Amino acid sequence: MVIELSEDFWDMSRDNQIFYLTENLRTLPDDLVDPGIEILKGAGEIEYAIALAKDTGRNEKAIEIAIDEGDYLWAALIASKAGMKEESKRLYREGLDYYVSMDMYGRAVSAAKALGLPQNEIDLLFEAGIRSESRNLNMGRIQATLDSLALSLEGVLAEKDDEITKELKVAMKEEMERIERRNYED
C-alpha cells in the first residue's frame, strides 16, 4: 500500500494506518513519524514503535517507550548504541532494582552482568530467583508428572528382560516405596 500524501493517511481506518506504518516503517514522511510512533505504541505494537523511534534518531523516545513497558534492558541497550554510556549504566541500575522488585530475576541477572557486578552478587540474584520460582511450584502437579513418567518407563521396561532392565525395575520399585514412606511421614 503506497500513498503519495500524508494527508491520505489520516483518512484511513486505524487498522489500515497501523498496517501502513508497519509496512513503510523505514520510508515514512517526516510528518508521520511522531504520530506514527504514538499510533503504534497505542496499538500495542511496541517493537515497531521503538524501531521507528530509533531509526529516525528519536532515541530518547525509544528509551521512554521501552521503560514504560518495563524493559530496562532494551532501554539501556538503545542508550548504549546511541553513545549514551552514562544513561545506559543508569538504566541498567534502575532496571536491576525494578526487576528485583518484580521478582524478575533472570532479567535482574542480565542487568547485573551488564553492570559488571561481582560474580558473588550475581550468584545471590540467581539464588533469589530460584527461591522465588520454587515458591510458585505446584508440587502435586510435579509429583503427578513424575508418577506418570515412571509408569510409562515401567511399561517400556516390561517388554524387556535383560539384567540391566531387572536392576532398573528393582531400583524404581525401591524409590517409589521410599517416596510413599516419605509422603506418609509428612
Domain locations in the chain as residue ranges: 1-69, 83-136, 139-185
Burial level of 92, CB count in 10 A (0-12/13-18/19+)? buried
Name the CA radius of gyration of the chain, rounded: 27
pTM: 0.69
Q: What is the pLDDT of residue 7?
A: 63
CB 62 within 8 A of CB 53: yes
The average pLDDT across 82-109 equals 96
Maximum pairwise Cα distance, the chain: 81
DSSP state of 25: G
Those residues with Cβ within 8 angstroms of residue 122's Cβ, 6 or more apart along the chain or in another chain = 109, 112, 113
Q: How sure is the predictor about 165, in pLDDT bands with cuts at 50, 70 and 90? A: confident
- How far apart are alpha carbons 62 and 75 in whole angstroms? 7
Place of cell 520399585: 173
